[in-house]
With several copies, the nearest count.
Chain A
Amino acid sequence: MPRAVAHLKRRETVGPGHYLLHLACPEIAASAQPGQFIHLRVGDGTDPLLRRPFSVMLTNPDEDDVQVLVRTVGRGTELIADHEEGKQYDLLGPLGHGWPKPGPGEDIMLVAGGVGVAPLIFLADSLRTVEDRPYVRAIFGGADQDALVCWTEFASRCEEFTAVTEDGSAGETGLVTDVLVPEIERDRPQRAYACGPDAMLAVVAEICAGAGIPLHVSMEQWMGCGVGACLGCAIPAAEGGYVRVCTEGPVFDADQIDWERMNER
């Protein structure tokens, strides 16, 4: 049954407004695949009412350990930032479809924006143990150096790593896409994975489509149920209509998404 109780073992501040939760949760630690998410109940009352979805950033099944990266943006995440160690969370998960695995020895590119790094860290981590492992390049972008949370966790799991910030406070100056284009020109990856703000993903999708690189994206959308029942998390599908982020996603092939309709808002 995809539900579990997790205890907060430790909450680490990993940057201004960014927290890394170390949860004790054997079920998730044992079964979560990179790219999957958990749907967490923040309080036990009506404030907030709905669960909140978070990607799994890392698991360590031997220690029942699950790591979740949380950026405070509103009521729910601010409450989480205040929770004491020992806090018990009720959660559904692992939910959704994770990243498809790259082929053996493939040259792949990971593109992360802000907390979008979390599911990509998990992906990079999972690739370390596969035979004939892929060659992993990564680009990690954010507004400033504070936004590049957990970059060492990310960088240490990749063969090549480029940081980029809009204000130049760390790494290159610019947007991830400013780095992505020359990187592709230098050496075309066989496959790309991306997670970050919608606007970033749309441009990454355009670039990859132009270069003929298969791209997998992890999408976000407001959720009700998290299990496919409410149709609340719909995003526009390339074939018309909508797909559910919680069930068909959160990871999609970039060409499943109608990026034009995505951009309408």
Chain B
Amino acid sequence: MTSSGPDLSVQVAGIAMQNPVMSASGTFGYGMEYEEYLDLSELGAIVTKAVTLEPREGNPPPRVRETPAGMLNAIGLQNPGARAFIDEKLPQLREFGVPVIVNISGRSVKEFAQLARMLTVDGVDALELNVSCPNVEDEGMHFGVDCSSTGELARAVVDSTDLPVIVKLSPNVTDIREIAVAAAEAGAHALSLINTLLGMSIDIDTRRPHLGNVTGGLSGPAIRPVAVRMVHEVAREVDLPIIGMGGIMSARDAIEFMLAGASAVAVGTANFVEPATMRDVIRGIADYCRRHDVARVAELTGALRID
């Protein structure tokens, strides 16, 4: 970035990022997997795959399936557990010199709180609460789709850590604003949205679901209009920074989310299609700012014109 170029830096929940572009949880492994394809030190932040208290095996295959302009996944939170994450993944992740946001998932409020305490360590810059994974239904809870449980969870985590807490919202709800408000009132420092839409597809020859888990999460460009709408809705209702995601493939798409109200964006499925997507998005945003005389990228946030 030359000194005359646009200022791409953003602050989200106190996390200083050199640009607003990060990875979406679960689509970028722990970063290392993509090291050969792009320079990770150029990213705004890295968001990890969900980490749970104990190791998880994940769901039986098939776990992914393409759908029109999208994909279904039912990975099922496979991960080595918090201990192994801290010992084996985190040291490598820190080396890239960009903020590390750890996506966490648990079976209960207690487990989330415990995880938050464990992960409040050097090298972790923020926690993202995966309250919306379709699989987190144990203990009779269905976080993320009702306000009281989301609020309770967010508050418990906020109370267990001094790291910024980002609550990741599920799109599978009647009114996402309500949930966003609950998270805000519970003290969350930022919101990220959207997680995947719950979907399903069927092999008509075998008459079986394509996914081993029957249903899965729909991601990719197909869901972008839903994601942009939700970011727009939440941004008008809640005074917290938003990390917008859902089908971002290009700088154009990223800018759409920022205009709708996002302070930063995350790239998910597009990483699979083109491993260098985030680099291209960062450059494309800079180009756009130059072309449109935008001095600071943060000016784009919520700059949608509606008359």
A and B touch in the complex (CB under 8 A): yes
Residues of A bordering B, CB below 8 Å: 1-3, 41, 46-51, 90, 92, 221-236, 240-242, 247, 261, 264-265
Are A241 and B27 closer than 8 Å at their CB atoms?
Answer: no
Whether A49 contacts B221 by the Cβ 8 Å rule is: yes
Q: Which 6 A-B pairs have the closest CB atoms?
A: A229-B29, A232-B64, A229-B33, A46-B69, A225-B272, A241-B57
User: Do B73 and A232 touch (CB < 8 A)?
Assistant: yes
Band of interface residues on B: 35 or more
A1: nearest chain-B partner, CB-CB: B36
Further 10 A-B residue pairs, CB within 8 A, beyond A227-B33, A232-B75: A46-B69, A46-B220, A51-B273, A222-B63, A222-B65, A223-B64, A224-B71, A229-B272, A230-B64, A235-B61
| Interface of chain A, main secondary structure | loop
Whether the Cβ atoms of B49 and A49 lie closer than 8 Å is no
Chain A residues whose CB sits within 8 angstroms of the CB of B37 once the complex forms: 1-3, 92, 227
Contacts of A227 in B (CB 8 A): 33-34, 37, 275
Name the residue of chain A whose CB is nearest to the CB of B78.
Answer: A231
Q: A261 touching B60 by the CB < 8 A rule?
A: yes
As a 0/1 sequence over residues 264 to 307 of chain B, the CB contacts with chain A under 8 angstroms (1 = contact) are 00000101111100000000000000000000000000000000
Q: Mark B5-34, 1 if CB is under 8 A from A, else 0.
A: 000000000000000000000111100011
Q: Once bound together, how far apart are the Cα atoms of A90 and B34, in whole Å?
A: 16
- Across the interface, name the chain B residue whose C-beta is closest to A227: B33
Contacts of A230 in B (CB 8 A): 26-27, 29, 64, 73, 75, 272
Are the C-beta atoms of B27 and A229 separated by less than 8 Å?
yes
- 15 residue pairs A–B, Cβ–Cβ below 8 Å: A46-B221, A49-B70, A49-B71, A221-B62, A223-B64, A224-B71, A229-B27, A230-B27, A231-B26, A231-B78, A232-B73, A233-B64, A236-B61, A241-B57, A241-B58
Query: Does B63 contact A231, Cβ atoms closer than 8 Å?
Result: yes
Identify which of B58, B61, B212, B271 contacts A225 (C-beta below 8 A). Answer: B271
A242 touching B57 by the CB < 8 A rule?
yes
Interface centre among B27, B49, B62, B65 (most CB of A within 10 A): B62
Evaluate contact between A242 and B272: CB separation under 8 angstroms: no
